[in-house]
Amino acid sequence: MGLQSLLLHLFWVATTVEALASQPPVTTKPGCPDKCGNVSIPYPFAIGDSCTIRGGGFNISCNATFNPPKPFWGELEVLDITLLSGLMRILNYIGYRCYTNTGKLDFVWKNWMNLDESQPFTFSETHNKLTAIGCDTIASITGFWGRDFKSGCMSFCNDRNSVINGSCSGIGCCQTAIPNAFKSFEVTLDSVSNHKNVSSFNPCSYAFLVENDAFSFNESDLIGFHFLDRSESVPVVLDWAISNETCEMARKDSASFACVSENSTCYESTNGFRCNCSEGYEGNPYLIGGCQDIDECNENDVKKLCQQNCINLPGNYSCSCWKGYHGLYDDQRECIKDTHKFPAVAVVLGIGLSLLVIFTGSSSSYWVWRKRKLIQLKEKFFQQNGGLLLQEKISSGQSSTQTFKIFTIEELKKATNNYDKSQIVGQGGSGTVYKGILPDNKLVAVKKSKLMDETQIEQFINEVHVLSQINHRNIVKLLGCCLEAEVPILVYEFISNGTLSQHIHGEGYEGYASSISLENRLRIATEAAGALYYLHSATSTPIFHRDVKSANILLDNNFMAKVSDFGASRLVPLDHTRITTLVMGTWGYLDPEYHQTGQLTGKSDVYSFGVVLVELLTGEGPISSTRSQDNRSLSNYFLTSMKENRLFEILEERVRNEGEEEQLMSIAQLAKRCLKLKGEERPTMKEVVVELEGLRRFHEHPWEPKKNEESENLLGEPGPSQGYTSNASCEYSVDSRTLSALEIGR
């Protein structure tokens, strides 16, 4: 009788589930339209106030003047709405900035969009990118409401033949990712030479926020702005939520809680909470009866799992065997024909003991196997990252290793408390820097990079070899590396007082910006210039830094400058004055000649240092949206002010008060020469150092000697009292005037 009751119950369940599954899915409230033209409008979105969920801005209007009709969210056309992922695709306009063939601004159309600040809609971080098109184009995006940020990219090319179809890597087209949780943005455009050299085939710059896969670059896009299927508009993806509350907060108001369907769940996204159907159900969780059972028995994967019978259950399914067969396992997925009858207890006991033996043996084997795989993986990474080559250099005496160490991955995990977030002291495009403490209580900076080009391993090891030998007091010391991780980890000495950028602009150092005197600014500039000159000329293999900026000049507790971050630096063969590289650097500091030609020289570092020198004079950032469109970059702003004789209007107040007019003008003229567009017209780093040292003595009498710990001669051989040690050395021929004018720490 019990078996008969069970079979009747299963039959009733299967019949009920089949009846529910046969019903069409519910997507909107009764009596409300579920489509506008070809676009489905699922609840909580709806056409008409009475059909939408209360609040939240889910009202859609259907414009029937189009054929077929088109849905609009406010003034924005809607392309698609998805419940499961919480996305809405809309159309937005393209921004452009066009010039005549003489370089005169012709017309401008800005790309911007504002969402309602009170509504839980944000621009999707994972589905959109800022995209810019043009051969002389600088695009920036400024975000507001929810997250304030600034970002951008640059695109250059000499002719149409140099661009690569389908590639947005900075040649004719560039793209950059955006952060999450912002509700408003403005895209602005700028150019270096107003398209004078490229106007014949590219008179305009274009920029827009666009869905990741909705745009593919083609060289014909440089001609005009009607380059997309939708003419002057592009799709943008929004993340939406029911409200900006958490699930716990929303459940407190049970009468209006949005997840009303049985078998629905609440989950939280970046901008609020949304609903979904429970596992085994599908449909609309925002409507009563909206989540309906999935008939898993109709799915091919389940059909393969159930060897004989499949029974659909609410939210699930079960397998059963035909008469005369029994399940090999409890779930009856695999069935075997009945042959012998064994007592059930004996069968269960036998299976249990067998499983116990198998589990115990498997566990031991697994942990042995896992430990062996970890060792093999570390060995693989060590060899892949050039560990054998580095060991060969060390054993052959090619590297000065008195202080350089090859760390194990366990040592660095322990030093950084397993790379705890609280240990992060810096983050950038190339990696993350953690504060670490070695067993001897020595503080170190541990840099985990994001990427490593396997084809450049030998180059990387050579750079580590050269950088490990640098022992200059104004250059951050490389103490060691770890090659057992997928990407090599570098270990530097820890500099405790932040970056020059933080002290100039007050980023996290409130009050420090005004505390840097002109004398200290000149000293810091001279020390940094001396370090760069040393890298260019005094090492055994010349080094171009390639990312000189105030954020890469650290300050110790005595405010001594320390040049850091050699992640982008390149070694230069002794018989070369320039090398061709993939363009790298930071927007606002990047040498425009290097960016256009890819030819890296020592003068590229001189240009970037010139921007740092202007920062020290003005206290302004390298890029600022508060300045006019033509003066967004600090270099343009400074050079324009110099041309219009407005230098003293843009100087920082303390600099203006402490400096003599002649001295300040001389510093500005030096910065101006560093920022020449043609590298051959810029001074060398040696000339920059000499001139800065002369400017530091502006108020001193030539017969009054000055002796302090900085009075060491960079250009001559180090004396025995200087305490300078390095395997890299070089001799120079310098006239007596240079020697008497030059003092710099080494």
Question: Mind telling me the catalytic residues?
Answer: 547
CA 553-557-561 angle, 5° bins = 25
Instruction: For the chain, state the CA radius of gyration.
Output: 34
690 within 8 A of 720, measured Cβ to Cβ: no
Q: In degrees rounded to 5, what are phi and psi of residue 727? A: -75, -15
**Burial profile 228-260: b = 16 or more Cβ within 10 angstroms, e = fewer:** beeebbbbbbbbbbbbbbebeebeeeeeeebbb
CA distance 494 to 449: 17
DSSP state letter for 381: H
Q: Is omega for the bond preceding 622 within 30 degrees of 0, making it cis? A: no
Token pair belonging to 193 = 């030479």
Token pair belonging to 632 = 């967004």
Distance of CA 651 to the CA centre of its chain: 33
| Bridge pairing between strands 39-40 and 184-190 | unpaired
Distance of CA 359 to the CA centre of its chain: 44
Ranges of beta strands (E only) in 304-362 are 309-313, 316-320, 325-327, 335-337
How far separated are the first and last CA of the chain, in Å rounded? 97
Q: Tell me, letter by letter, the H, E, C secondary structure of 187-198.
A: EEEECCCCCCCC
**Burial profile 682-709: b = 16 or more Cβ within 10 angstroms, e = fewer:** bbebbbbbbbbbbbbeeeeeeeeeeeee
